[in-house]
Every structure is written in C-alpha cells, then in structure tokens.
Amino acid sequence: MPANDEERDPFIDGQGGGERSKKKKKQEAGALTVLMTRLWFGSACCVFLGGVLGLVTLVSTAFDPPDCLDEVYLVLFGFLMMLHESPVDVGPLGEIKDGIAHQAMFLTRIIGRGAFFTFLGTMTFFTTAENVSIFVALTLGLFVILVGMLSIVYGHAKTRQLERVRYRIYLETQNAADVRSLYDEYANADTDKGTRVARGLTKDEFNKIADFVMKQPSATLQGRRVTADKNWTSFDSNSLNWIFAAIVSNPEKEYLSAIDLDVWCRGSWTLL
C-alpha cells in the first residue's frame, strides 16, 4: 500500500485537463449540451423531411402502399421527435413534450434518444435511397445515424459522470448506511417553518451534494481514502433534468426523495 494510504477513484480518467480552469470546462460542457440538443432537433427535422419527400415522390409516381406506409411512419415519428426536441416551450408545447416523454420514457434518456435516432436514420436512409435518390439518403439518413451514434457515446460519458458521484456518495456514507443524514443536510426544500415536509432534494441541492463528494477527499473506507477530483465540473441544468428523469420515481420529476436517493446509491449503473 502507498505511503500516503490513498486510493484513486476508479472512475477518474488520467490527469488531463488540469491546466484548464473549472469555469472554462463548465462552459465547454454546457456548450456541448446545447450542441447535442440542436443536433437532436436537426435530426428530427431530417427524418420528417425524408418522410415527406419519399411520400410525395411515391404519390406522384408509382404508388406502392407498403413503401407509403414506411414514409408515413417517418413523417409521423419525425414530427413527434421535432415536437419533443424543440428548443422552445411556447404555449402548450411544454405539455406536449411532457406527454411524449410520459408515453415514451426511453426518450428521457440520452442513450434511448441515440438508439431511436439510429433506428430512424437507417429507415430514412434506405427508404429515401429506394424512393427518392441516393444523394438525399446520404444527406439526411447518414446525418441522423451519425447523430444517433454520437448521442450513445455522449450518453455513456454522462452515465459515467453520474456513476462517479454515486460511487463517492456510497463511500461518503459508509456503504450507503447513512444516506439519510446526507439527505437531511442538503434537503433545504423539505424545511417549511420548522416542519419537515415530504418533498425532496431539488436539482440544485443534488448538485451541491455532487460537488461536495467530488471536490474533497471522501470519508475513510477500511482505512483508505479516495482523493478529491480536481477535474470535476458541476452538472448543468440539462444534465440535472436527465438525471432526475432517470432516478426520481415521482412522475413530476422535480424532487428527489430520501428513498429514491437511497435506492440509487445502493443500486448500480443508471443509464442516462
């Protein structure tokens, strides 16, 4: 055992990034999140456009019911994904997004989005290649496929980031035996005029817990310590929305209960 009796966190990658400031890294992480949301909306538009072009071509040339059904499928799901991935929440659009997410919960996960866009991309490619042109297939279909694959990689990276936090909380609370005390320390939203109300951790409070366990050495575990993560950056607002969608049992997904926190800490990898 090393002289300083330290154990490296198995989820920390190398020593890169030490020269960049935390503020710059947080800005880069936020910019990447914004880029991904725009790519998702752009991919949904490509699927919808591919379906419309294919349907118009089939109707105006050789009408083929099975091929038309494929194009209608792309138009329908492309339109639904455009609504779900829309960068604005004007009027009833927010409720529509919530309704789509409630009926297709896999779309609340980054990896779920990636898998679905990969599937829609392959359909867009083959149907447009057959019914429209190979140029349109390469332009629209391959773009959606690449975005889908990139989303899966991005989702895996976010999953690993969340798992590092879960691992630290597990150590900080002596193998999850005292998660409730950590919850009580940060769940300020539960306090209302001195009375404990069953609400839960807000997203900001969960972020504070993540910062606490990642930015300083963890509690001892069998005589060993886990060092602070100097490269840690806090979760951005979109990441917190994805995390709460994955680990909160309440349908509203606004507050993380003590039970949900305990179940998550005692569990294993949570795919985002």
Is the predicted pLDDT of residue 153 greater than 70, yes or no?
Answer: yes
Q: How confident is the model at residue 54 (pLDDT cuts 50, 70, 90)?
A: confident
- Do residues 73 and 123 lie in contact, with contact meaning Cβ atoms separated by under 8 Å? yes
17-53 pLDDT, tens digit per residue, is 444 555 666 666 667 888 888 999 999 999 999 999 9
CA-based angle 7:8:9, to the nearest 5? 120
> For position 99, what pLDDT does the model report?
85
Distance in angstroms (rounded) separating the CA atoms of residues 28 and 189: 30
Task: Using a pLDDT cut of 70, give the percent of the chain over it.
Answer: 78
Centroid of chain to Cα 87: 16
205-226 pLDDT, tens digit per residue, is 888 888 888 877 665 544 455 6
> For position 229, what pLDDT does the model report?
67
> What is the average pLDDT score of the chain?
79
> For position 143, what pLDDT does the model report?
94
Tokens linked to 19: 């020269």
| pTM beyond 0.85 | no
Distance in angstroms (rounded) separating the CA atoms of residues 167 and 251: 26
